[in-house]
Amino acid sequence: LPSQMGSLLGSSLALCYLDYVQDDSAFLRLNFWLGHALHEEFLFCSGDGGSGSSSEALHFLNKLLSTQHFLQEGFSSTEGFLYKFLNVWDGSLLRPQILGLLSDIPVVPSSCISQLLFEPLMQLFFTSTLFFKCSVIDCLNNMLLKWLTWHSVYALEDGLDISLNSHTPMNMTLSGFMDSVMELVRFVGRLATVGLQLEGCHSLLLSFILDFYETVCDMFLKYGLPLVVMPPVGVFYPALFATDPVSVDRLGYIMYRYKKNLTSAKCQQQETKQAFHISRQTYKEFNHYLLFMVSCLWNSKMFLPGMAIEVDQELLALSKVPEPRTSFDLIHHPAFLGYALDFHHKCWPERKDMDLNSIKAGKQWDWYLEFLFSQGFHGLQQFIQSSINRRSVAGINGQRGSQPTSR
Q: pLDDT of 150-183, one tens digit each?
A: 888 876 444 444 444 444 445 678 888 999 999 9
Q: What is the pLDDT of residue 301?
A: 76
Dihedral sign for Cα atoms in the order 53, 59, 60, 62: positive
At residue 45 the predicted structure's pLDDT band, cuts being 50, 70 and 90, is low
CA-closest candidate to residue 214, choices 189, 178, 250? 250
Cα–Cα–Cα angle for 156, 161, 163, rounded to 5 degrees: 85
Provide mean pLDDT across the span 335-351: 89
The 3-state secondary structure of 20-60, one letter per residue: HHCCHHHHHHHHHHHHHHHHHHHHCCCCCCCCCCHHHHHHH
Q: How far apart are CA 359 and CA 155, in angstroms?
A: 53
Residue 23 has pLDDT above 80, yes or no: no
Q: What is the pLDDT of residue 405?
A: 39
Amino acid occupying residue 314: E
At residue 404 the predicted structure's pLDDT band, cuts being 50, 70 and 90, is very low
Q: How far apart are CA 108 and CA 110, in angstroms?
A: 6
Q: What is the pLDDT of residue 289?
A: 94
| Cα 272 to Cα 178, 262, 267, 268, distances in angstroms | 20, 15, 9, 6
Provide mean pLDDT across the span 362-380: 92
Dihedral sign for Cα atoms in the order 256, 259, 260, 261: positive
Rounded to 5 degrees, φ, ψ at 218 are: -115, 20
Provide mean pLDDT across the span 339-347: 91
CA-closest candidate to residue 105, choices 63, 150, 137, 135? 150
- The domain segmentation of the chain, as residue ranges, is 1-45+54-98, 106-240, 279-407
Looking at the DSSP bridge assignments, the partners of residue 163 are 171
Rounded to 5 degrees, φ, ψ at 172 are: -150, 140
Residue 46 has pLDDT above 90, yes or no: no
Q: What is the pLDDT of residue 339?
A: 94
Choice between 347 and 272, residue whose per-residue pLDDT is larger: 347
H or E stretch covering 171 = strand 171-172
Report the chain's mean pLDDT, rounded to a whole number: 82
Is 109 within 8 Å of 180 (Cβ atoms)?
yes
- Enumerate residues 6+ apart whose C-beta is below 8 A from 109: 172, 176, 180
Provide mean pLDDT across the span 12-32: 77
